[in-house]
Chains A and B, each alone.
Chain A
Amino acid sequence: MNGSSIDRADFAAIGQWIRSGSRVMDLGCADGELLKYLRETKKVSGYGVDIDDGHVLACVKNGVNVIQRNLEEGLGEFEDQSFDYVILSQTLQAMRHGERIIREMLRVGREGIVTFPNFGYWKNRLQVLKGVMPVSEHLPYEWFDTPNIHLCTLADFESFCVKRDIRILQRQVLTEGKKVRYLPNLRGALAIYHFGARSQK
């Protein structure tokens, strides 16, 4: 799902919210590059989770701890509140049980970080207006081969958080690796949210 196409700006944005030496889980970790980056820059310890045999092998080659597991089945063996952060990077939109995984992230982790392509980005809107499904930097697939089944906009995600009692702690929106502050739901290509449960246990 995510993978080597994920850019460093994404990594840096995630990294800025992570306290040094914390315990991190990266869901859909692909080749483990993000964890490797966080280990090198933030001295985190942690584990990647991925279902794909090739990704598991790539993580081992990268020296990253990885647990092979189907995220659609939840995070069964992971204890409640056993991680400081659970990250879901560019994977939410491809999950069948998106709501469940967000709930699981906040069960296992004290805080969650999620990144996803903003469907409200003007380039996407323009293509829809033209009457075609959008294909862009963060949505590189054609409609017939896309793994992305649950696309949303910044506004969608934020209203979801309100309804599900999720407190958004921080947000960063990027376009071509640069921060977007003004009209983010229109001008932002990639959304990165840092969130926690509204009533912290």
Chain B
Amino acid sequence: MPNPISSINNSSVGVVSAQQAFFDEPLTLKSGAVLGQYELAYETYGTLNAQRNNAVLVCHALNASHHVAGYYADKPEEVGWWDNMIGPGKPLDTSRFFVLGVNNLGGCHGSTGPQSINPRTGLPWGGDFPLMTVEDWVNAQARLADRLGIECFAAVMGGSLGGMQCLQWSLSYPQRTLHALVIACAPNLSAQNIAFNEVARQAILTDPDFNEGNYDAHGVKPRRGLRVARMVGHITYLSDDEMANKFGRHLKQEKENYNFDADFEIESYLRYQGDKFARYFDANTYLRITKALDYFDPALAYGGNLALALAPARAAFLVISFSTDWRFAPERSRQIVQALLKNNRDVTYAEIDAPHGHDAFLLEDARYHLLVSAYFERIDRQISP
């Protein structure tokens, strides 16, 4: 049998471009705040069929965007963040499905967020931009789906925070979610997870350039804080083994410096990742996204009973975890599975033995991709007349 993974590797959706959708119907957020008007940046790949039943929403996690697959004509190096998963002949096959990627509200890639102009003041929102929740994002995505004429998604798919949005779709819009692909996810964050997020936030909040979030008005950026925040994040996305394999105790130079320059490869890697991130990402967005992660807890309103919380779901689920992911450990995915089983939902659960920690959901792994591929074939059979 030819290896289907290697044979589809080179196919890309090609040149893509982002679109904007403007909404002037106010959106009431979970916090009680109201966004009077807002814009969503999005991309689509493939074609919505005549029955309008082949749409797949791909939800992004912490630092990603609506740019899910393909590349921009003027920036061919900017390949979509899940390009290995989505494209013609890839697991999520754009020759069969109409794929939608949306930059979440509060983001910094084109949707309304802290860098946008607050119509009330004529100045950037900055620190005044309201806090967002997963539920708010899903509600905004649903309005975009209305606009695009998508009544029911064939699937909503995402990893990590993106997986939380899938779960929320199945609860907020059970009739509009045929399948939910919940990958490397958890039904809520553990105390340890919230702790990591809090360290990241404190790094930003205590940066002298933060200015209560109104740094743009002061002509500065809290880059040092954002850099440290990203470094903390990166540590948690990799497994201990993967870090040992990649970096071990390797020194940058042949011997120790006896100063605070980067002695070890891992230090240099974290500094590089932190610097890169701090150059393009917005600190206010980072703060809000980590808070959305922390707040997500569908079982909270049900006394911690996840099965009760997931009772409204009507979707069929594919839940996938990765063995070395300690930030969103397999155990957490099994809790989702257990709650779905109690509700007698269609659910398939796979635990992929992969060494890459949380990052595994973004990487190419034959077992993982073949599974997603087979699952989408099943969806395709189901929706095809």
Contacts and interface: CB of A to CB of B under 8 A. Distances in A.
Interface of A: 23, 45, 47, 53, 56-57, 59-61, 63, 65-69, 76-79, 82
A61 B377 contact: yes
Interface of B: 318, 334-335, 337-338, 341-342, 344, 346-353, 367, 370-371, 374-375, 377-378, 381
A23 B347 CA distance: 14
Given A77-B338, A77-B341, A79-B342, A57 B347 contact: no
A67 B349 contact: yes
Contacts of A78: 338, 341
A63 B376 CA distance: 11
Given A57-B367, A60-B378, A77-B334, A67 B344 contact: no
Contact of B351 (A63, A65, A68): A68
The 9 A-B residue pairs with the shortest CB-CB distance in the complex, in nearest-first order: A77-B338, A60-B374, A67-B349, A68-B350, A68-B351, A61-B374, A53-B367, A77-B334, A66-B348
A65 B337 contact: no
A82 B350 CA distance: 21
A23 to B, nearest CB: 7
Contacts of B353: 53
Given A65-B346, A67-B349, A79 B371 contact: no
A55 B318 CA distance: 15
B347 A65 contact: yes
Contacts of A67: 337, 341, 347-349
Contacts of B337: 67, 77
A57 B338 contact: no
B14 to A, nearest CB: 29
B375 A66 contact: no
Contacts of A56: 348, 350, 371
A107 B346 CA distance: 22
Contact of A82 (B342, B348, B371): B342
Contact of B374 (A47, A57, A79): A57
A21 to B, nearest CB: 12
Contacts of A59: 348
A142 B262 CA distance: 58
Given A57-B371, A60-B378, A23 B349 contact: no
A21 B377 CA distance: 26
B324 to A, nearest CB: 15
26 contacts: A53-B352, A53-B367, A56-B348, A56-B371, A57-B370, A57-B374, A60-B318, A60-B375, A60-B378, A61-B374, A61-B378, A63-B381, A66-B348, A66-B349, A66-B350, A67-B337, A67-B341, A67-B347, A67-B348, A68-B351, A77-B334, A77-B338, A77-B341, A78-B341, A79-B341, A79-B342
A68 B350 CA distance: 5
Contact of B348 (A45, A65, A76): A65
A82 B371 CA distance: 27
A162 B186 CA distance: 43
Nearest to A70: B351
B378 A63 contact: yes
A72 B333 CA distance: 20
A47 B342 CA distance: 12
B337 to A, nearest CB: 6
A92 B352 CA distance: 25
Nearest to B346: A65
A60 B344 contact: no
A78 B347 CA distance: 13
B119 to A, nearest CB: 48
Contacts of B352: 53
Contacts of A60: 318, 348, 371, 374-375, 378
Contacts of A79: 338, 341-342
Q: Of residues A45, A66, A68, A77, which shows the largest number of chain B Cβ atoms within 10 Å of its Cβ? A: A68
A66 B337 CA distance: 11
A24 to B, nearest CB: 12
Contacts of B374: 57, 60-61
Contacts of B344: 23, 45
Contacts of B375: 60
Contacts of B318: 60
Given A68-B349, A79-B338, 4 more contacts: A67-B341, A67-B349, A68-B350, A77-B334
Contacts of B349: 66-69
A68 B334 CA distance: 10
A67 B350 CA distance: 6
Contacts of A47: 341, 347
A201 B360 CA distance: 44
A70 B349 CA distance: 12
A167 to B, nearest CB: 26
Contacts of B377: 61
A76 to B, nearest CB: 8
A67 B333 CA distance: 11
